[in-house]
Structure 1
Amino acid sequence: MQFFRLSLIAASIMTLTACNKGGETQSADASAPAAESELIVKIGSANPLTGPFAHWGRDSDNGVILAVEEANAEGVTLGGKKVRFEVMSEDDQADPKTATQVAQRFLDAGVNGIVGHLTSGATIPASRIYSDAGLPMVAASVTSPKFTQQGYSNTFRIIANDTQQGDALAKFAVADLKAKNIAIIDDRTTYGQGLADDFAKAVQAAGGKVVKREYTTNNASDFMAILTAIKGANPDLVFYGGMDAQAGPMVKQMQKIGIKAAFMGADGVNTAEFIKLAGTAAEGVYSSSAGASKDVMPGYASFNERFNTRFKGEVQAYAPYTYDATRVLISAMKRADSAEPAKYLPELPKTQLDGITGTIAFDAKGDIKQGLVTLYQLKDGKWQTVAAPAKSAASAAQ
C-alpha cells in the first residue's frame, strides 16, 4: 500500500492471544498490560472463520491483522497518547443471525471500528446494529448494492458492487463469447441471488436469452438434478451466482453428465480454492473480480511479499482489501486525532487514500467512487486476465 511503505519489523510483532468467547483479540502484545499513557484501540474483524468459507475468512482477517501490526510498528499517537491497535476477530459463519450476535459482541467489547463482514448476507443485518450505535464500518468484500442503499452514514465500501460485476460479465458473455442462450444458477443467498438477478437483466439488455433459471443452496454438494434440467435446455453458457465451495463440484458434475457449455462465475469463484475443488474441470472457466487484478494493483507486489512472510500462505482474495479498509479507518482516526467513533466518523467521507488496491475515495452513499471489474479465464491452472479493468461510477451503476 502506498499509504504506509513500511517493512514488517519482526521485533514489533509479538505473540497473538485469544481473549474473548467466540473470537480472538490480536495485537502487537495483547497479553501485556497497557501502559498508563497507552491508548488501546480495537478494530473488529468479522468473517467466517469456520465452515466452507473459512479460507476466505482467514484470508480477510489476516489482511486486518497485517495492517494493524504495521500501524503498531509505525507508532501512531492519538490525543497525545501512543496507540496500541488490537484486532478482535469474530466468526460470523457467513450466517445473518450469527452476524448480528457478533455485532453485539463488538459493541459490548467497545470496539472503535469494524472491517467486514465478508459476505453480503451477514453484513446487511449487522450493519443496522452498527448504524444504531454510530460505529464506523468499512466493507472490503461486500458487493450487494443493497448495503449502501440503506442510507446509513456509517457504512463505506472499497470495492465495486454486483450491479457492475453482473453487467461486465453479461456483456462479455454475449458480445465476446457469443453466448446467446444462457442458463443461470444461484445459491439463494443475498450475494448469489442478487448477482444472478443483475446478470440476468444485463444478459437480456445485451441481446442474450436466459433459457433456464435454477436454484441451489450454499451448503449443497449434489447438483445433478438441476444440471440435468439445464442440459435439456442446451445452453451456450452456464452462470453461477455463488461461492467456490459449490462451483468446484458443480463444474465437475457438468463434465460428468456431458454439458459442453462454458461456465462462468463472479468473484465468489475467482479463488485458488476453486481450482483445487474443480480439478481438471476448472480449465476454461470464466470469472470476475470486483477490483483490479493483482498484477496491476499499485501496491500488491510489496504487500504479497509481506503477507507471505507473515502468514506463510497465499492470498486467497480479499486480504489486500481488508488491509486497505483497516488503513482507511486508521487514517480517519489520525486526521481526527481521536479513535472515538463520533469524532473520527466525519473524516471517513473525506478519505483520499492511495491504497494497495488503488485510489480510495467515497461517494455520497459510501461507495467507492470508481469501481473496477476485471474478467478472467482459468488457463493452465491459473487465473489469467481476459479483459482489463473498466472504471465506472458506483453511484451511476446503482
Structure 2
Amino acid sequence: MLHSSSSRRFVLRSVAAAMALAGLGSNAFAQEVVKIGYSGPLSGGAALYGKNVLTGMEMAVAEINADGLEVGGKKVRLELVALDDKYNPAESAINTQRLVQEHKTPAVLIPHSGGSFAVQTTNERLGVLLLSYTSVPTITARGNKLTIRIPPEFTGYVEPFTRYAMGKYGKNLAIANADHDYAKAWTAAFKPAWEAAGGKVVAENPMSYNRSTDFYSGVSRVLAAKPDVMFIGGASEPTGLVVKQARELGFKGGFVIIDQAKMDEIAKVTGGYGPLEGSIGVLPLVDDTRTHAKDFVERFRKANPGRDPSSEVSLNYIAVHATAQAMRLAGTTTDAHAIRAKMNEAYRSLPAKYNVHDIEGIDEKGGTIANTYVATVEGGKVKQVTLRELVSK
C-alpha cells in the first residue's frame, strides 16, 4: 500500500513537472502568426502568371521564417493566404475584404492594375497595405496612403526604348501589341513619345493576344505599311508567335517589346534569340550577370527543378522581404500605416541577397525606384544595359 502511494505521488510529480516543462517550452517557442494576403489569377488564361507571382512570395516567406523574424520583441511566423480572383477586379476587392476580416492580414498583394484600382476604393478604410504588382503610374499617382507599387513605372522605358529602336532601324513604327488595358496604357504613352521624337506611326492594329493563336492576318496588315520597327507585347507566348510570324512574313526590322512579355519566354516560342534580333525589352533574370541575381536564379532552380524565375517571381519575392523588414523596423505587424512609413527604409536596408533587382527605395508616392536593367538582342545574343545608360547615349 505504501509502495503504491509512493508510486502514485512520483507519477503525479512527474506529470506536473512534464506539464511545467511543456508550458515553459511553449512560452519559449511561442510565435505570433501573421498572415500575408494574395489575390490574383490562379485559374484561367492568366494562371501561370499568377502562380509565378505566388511562387516568389512563397520563396520569400520560407526564407524569412527560416532566418527568424522578430517584431517588437516577439517571434513572428509568416503565412500566406492565397485566393483566386481569376484576374477579375471585382473578385480582387471581395477577396481583400475577406482576407482582412477572416485572416487579419496587414498587407495584401494584388498582381494586376484592375484589381489594384478596385482594392484602392476600400483599403485605407480597412487598414490594409496594398502591395500592387503593376507598373502603371496611376496606381501611386492617386495619393492612396496605403499603396506600394512593386515595379518601377513603365513610363521609364518609353524614351530609351524609342531612342534605341529609332536610332537602329528607322522612324516608321507599326503598333501591333495586345488590346487589353495594360497594353493600351503602354500605347497611350509610347505613341506620342515616338512621334515627338520625329517618328511616324504607319500602322496601328492591336490584337487579342489572349484569345488568338494565329496572328498572320493582323501582322500582314501592319507589315503592308512597311514599318522599320514593330511595337508589340502582351503575354509572352502569343508575343512569341507575333515575332515568329512577322519574321516568316519577311519583316527585317526591330521590335519594341512591352514589359509584360519576357524575352526568355518569347525565345522558347521563336526557337531562340535569333528571330528577336534588334529587339529591346525587359532583361530576362536568367541573363542578369549581377552576382546576387545569379545567386537567386540558382536558389530558385534548386527549389523548383526544371523552372526558371521571371521578374514576376523576383520582384514579388523582394516585396515580401521588404514588408517583413518594414514590420521589423516599425515594431508592429498590425499597423499598416506604420509599416507603410518604413517601406522606403526597408527596401534600402535589405541585404543584396534579397534585393535581387537593386531596388533603391520608394518615392514619396509609394513607387519603387531602381536603375532598371533591360535587354537588347544583338548578334543573336542578349546584351544587358541599364535604362540610364541608354538615355545618356
Please state how far the C-alpha of 1:200 moved relative to its aligned partner: 1.1
Conservation of the 8 A alpha-carbon contact between 1:48 and 1:91 = yes
Conservation of the 8 A alpha-carbon contact between 2:327 and 2:339 = yes
Conservation of the 8 A alpha-carbon contact between 2:215 and 2:242 = yes
Helix, strand or coil for the counterpart of 2:131? strand
1-side partners of 2:145 and 2:153: how far apart?
18
Residue of structure 1 equivalent to 2:205: 214
Moved more, 346-355 or 239-248: 346-355
2-side partners of 1:38 and 1:160: how far apart?
35
Which runs of 4 or more aligned residues in structure 1 lie more than 6 Å from their structure 2 counterparts after TM superposition? 33-36, 290-293
Residue of structure 2 equivalent to 1:58: 51
Q: Are residues 98 and 271 of structure 1, via their aligned partners in 2, closer, same or farther at CA, if it must alter by over 3 Å? A: farther
Residue of structure 2 equivalent to 1:41: 34
Q: Are residues 236 and 392 of structure 1, via their aligned partners in 2, closer, same or farther at CA, if it must alter by over 3 Å? A: closer
Please state how far the C-alpha of 1:360 moved relative to its aligned partner: 3.2
Conservation of the 8 A alpha-carbon contact between 2:372 and 2:387 = yes
Q: Are residues 127 and 35 of structure 1, via their aligned partners in 2, closer, same or farther at CA, if it must alter by over 3 Å? A: farther
Q: Are residues 205 and 187 of structure 1, via their aligned partners in 2, closer, same or farther at CA, if it must alter by over 3 Å? A: same
CA deviations 1:315-355 (Å, max 9, x no partner) are: 12222211110011101111122100244233224442342
Please state how far the C-alpha of 1:288 moved relative to its aligned partner: 1.9
Instruction: Extract unaligned runs of 5+ from structure 2.
Output: 1-25
With normalisation by structure 1, the TM-score equals 0.80
Q: Which has the larger radius of gyration?
A: 2
2-side partners of 1:124 and 1:80: how far apart?
35
Residue of structure 2 equivalent to 1:279: 271
Q: Are residues 75 and 55 of structure 1, via their aligned partners in 2, closer, same or farther at CA, if it must alter by over 3 Å? A: same
The aligned amino acid for 2:119 is A
2:84 to 88, 91, 105: 91
Conservation of the 8 A alpha-carbon contact between 2:263 and 2:281 = no
Residue of structure 1 equivalent to 2:317: 323
Counting aligned pairs with the same residue, the percent is: 25
1:348 to 324, 343, 361: 343
Helix, strand or coil for the counterpart of 2:311? coil
Residue of structure 2 equivalent to 1:257: 249
Equivalences for 1:167-178 in 2 at 5 Å?
167-175=159-167, 177-178=168-169
Conservation of the 8 A alpha-carbon contact between 1:218 and 1:246 = yes
Please state how far the C-alpha of 1:113 moved relative to its aligned partner: 4.0
Conservation of the 8 A alpha-carbon contact between 1:297 and 1:357 = no
Aligned residues: 357
Greater RCO (Cα-Cα under 8 Å, separation 6 or more): 1
Conservation of the 8 A alpha-carbon contact between 1:371 and 1:391 = no
CA deviations 1:78-114 (Å, max 9, x no partner) are: 2433211101123333333333333233223334344
Instruction: Extract unaligned runs of 5+ from structure 1.
Output: 1-32, 394-398
2-side partners of 1:169 and 1:34: how far apart?
57
The aligned amino acid for 1:295 is D
1:234 to 199, 221, 226: 226
2:182 aligned with 1:191: yes
Q: Are residues 179 and 196 of structure 1, via their aligned partners in 2, closer, same or farther at CA, if it must alter by over 3 Å? A: same
Helix, strand or coil for the counterpart of 1:235? coil
With normalisation by structure 2, the TM-score equals 0.81
Helix, strand or coil for the counterpart of 2:122? helix
2-side partners of 1:123 and 1:298: how far apart?
33
Conservation of the 8 A alpha-carbon contact between 2:330 and 2:339 = yes
